[in-house]
Amino acid sequence: MPTITTDTDNTEEPPPEAQLKHIKRSSLMLSPSWDAEANSLRHLGDLDDEDTIPVAFFPLKANDPAKKKLLQPSESAGDWSIASGNTTDTSVYSRGSSDDIWGDVPMGAPDAILGIASAFRSCQDPKKVNVCVGAYRDDDGNSYVLPSVRAAEKILWEDNEPKEYLPIEGDKDYVHQALRFAYGPNMDIDTHVAAVQTLSGTGACAIGGRFLAQFWKDHPIYVPDPTWSNHIKIFNQCGLDCRKYRYYNRSTNALDLEGMVEDLKRAKDGSIILLHACAHNPTGCDPSLQQWKEIISIIRQKKHVCFFDSAYQGFASGSAEDDAQAFRYAVSQHVPILLAQSFAKNFGLYGERVGTLSVVCGDEEQRDHILSELRLIIRPLYSSPPRHGSSIVKTVLGDPALKEQYYKECAGMALRIQKMRLKLVQALEKAGSKHDWSHITGQIGMFAFTGMNEEMCRHLTDEFSIFLTMNGRISMAGLNQKNLEYVASSIHAVTDGKSISL
C-alpha cells in the first residue's frame, strides 16, 4: 500500500516529469500534515474507501535527500518513489510523523505490586522470598491448580468445548451459577438481579464504576483507607469522585469501627460505599457480623449505595457460606447493591480472568433495563468475555460431586493460610521478638497487615531479599515450612526495638 504525506494546502501544479493518477482512498496509507493556521493535524481519513484522490508520481533523482527515506535499501536510483509500488516502507512513517506525535509521551510509573514481583524474579539471592503477589502457593512454594478444576477441564475437553464467541453479557449458565454461589439459594436472581460476566474482579469494578458514573451521577464513591490500590485507579478512570473513609487503625492494628461509622454518617446521602465482602485487602481485618449489621444500618439510613467487592468468598474462612454472610445480610436489608465477584483466588483461576458484576433490582423490567445498559458499556470495551475460565466455574458448581470436592479443596487452602498465621507468630516469638503480633492471627484471608512501616519493609528487601509491599502487607500464601523461620528472624531483625504501630 503506498504511503502518501498529504498536504491539502499545496495547490501548486505537479512538475512536468510527474505522472498524475487517480487512486482509490483504500489503496493509500495517508500520513497527516500540519495545519499551522488551525494549529492541528490535517488528514484525509474522512474520505470513503471508494473515493479517488489525485496523486502525482515522479521518479527520485540520484542525489535527492528524500531518496534514503522513501526507498527500500534494495531499490536502485532509477526506481520510482514508494507511491508507485505495491509495497510499503514502514520506516517512512515511524521515522517521520510518529516521532513528532509521540515524542512527548512520558514513561509511565511502574505498577507497585507487579514491579516488586519483577524485582523478585531478577534477584539472585538463593534465600529470596516473595510475600508480595496475592496468589496461593502450596507448602512447597509451588503454584497450585485445584484438582476439581483439572477434573472440570477434562470434562470440557471430552465434551469438545466450543470456541465460539460468548454473548456480550457472557455465559448465561455460568452467570447463574456465580450468582447462586454469592446470593445463596433463597434469592430470586432471575427477577431481582441484573448480571454480566466480566474480566475478573477488576473488570467487574470497572464496569460497575462506569455504570454508576452514568446513572448515579454526582455521587462520590468512598473506599476504605486502606484498600486495594487498584480500586482508586479504576474508579478515578471511570470518572467517579473517589474519597476515603476510615477503616483501619494502625495505632491499634485493628478495625477503626468508630472512625468508619463517623465517616459514613458524614458522607453525602446517596454516596457509593465500597465494601470488601470478606478478607479485606490489604489488612485482613473484617468486621464481625454484629459490626456489619451496625454498618449496614447506617448505610440504609443514609440511603447510600453499597458496592461490594467479593474476591475471596470461601478462601477467607474456608466456608463460602460464612464468607457471604455480610453481603447477604445487606441484601436482606434492601439497600441498593452492586456486587463484583472474582474467581481468581478462590478457584485459583488467576490467568483466566473470570468474574461477574451484578446489580440488585426492584423487578424484572428494571433488571432488563439495567442489563441492556451494561451490555452497552461492555460492547465497545471488549465485546464479549473469554469462555474457558467461566466454563470451568460453571462445570464445577453445576456438578454436585465436583462442587463438594471444590468446597473441601478451598477449605484446605484457607486452613493452610490460617496455620501459617499461627506459625509465623510462634516463629517471631522464637526469634526473640517482644512485640504483640496477635493481630496477625486475628486477621483473615490471603494477607496479613504486619504493622511494619516503609523503612522496615525496604530494609527487609534490601538486606534480606524478602519482597513485600511498602505498607507492611505480606501474602501469607508465600510462607511455607522452608522459609518461615528465615522470614520471622528477618522481620525480628528490622522491627526489634521499634514500634510496629503508628
Choose, from 302, 345, 394, 423, the residue flagged as catalytic. 345
Helix/strand/coil for 425: helix
3 beta partners? 29
Give the residue ranges of DSSP H helices in 19-171.
Answer: 66-70, 91-95, 97-102, 112-122, 147-158
265 touches 302 (CB < 8 A):
yes
Cell 459490626 appears where? 291
Grid cell for residue 356: 461477574
289 beta partners? none
309 beta partners? 276, 340
Grid cell for residue 317: 474462612
407 touches 320 (CB < 8 A):
yes
Give all strands (DSSP E) within 241-394, no chain letters.
242-246, 248-249, 254-255, 272-276, 305-310, 337-342, 354-360
DSSP one-letter code for 35: E
Distance of CA 457 to the CA centre of its chain: 25
Q: Which residues contact 176 (CB under 8 A, 6 or more apart)?
A: 189, 394
Q: Is 293 a catalytic residue?
A: no
DSSP one-letter code for 173: H
Task: For strands 254-255 and 248-249, give the pairing.
Answer: antiparallel
DSSP string, 223-258: EEES--HHHHHHHHHTT--EEEEE-EETTTTEE-HH
Q: Is 345 a catalytic residue?
A: yes
Radius of gyration of the chain (CA): 29
Distance CA 451, CA 33 (A): 57
Choose, from 171, 228, 256, 394, the residue flagged as catalytic. 228
Choose, from 309, 323, 394, 423, the residue flagged as catalytic. 309
Q: Is 309 a catalytic residue?
A: yes
23 beta partners? 53
Residue type for position 363: D
How crowded is the C-beta side of 304, counted as CA atoms within 13 Å?
A: 28
Q: Which residues belong to the active site?
A: 228, 309, 345
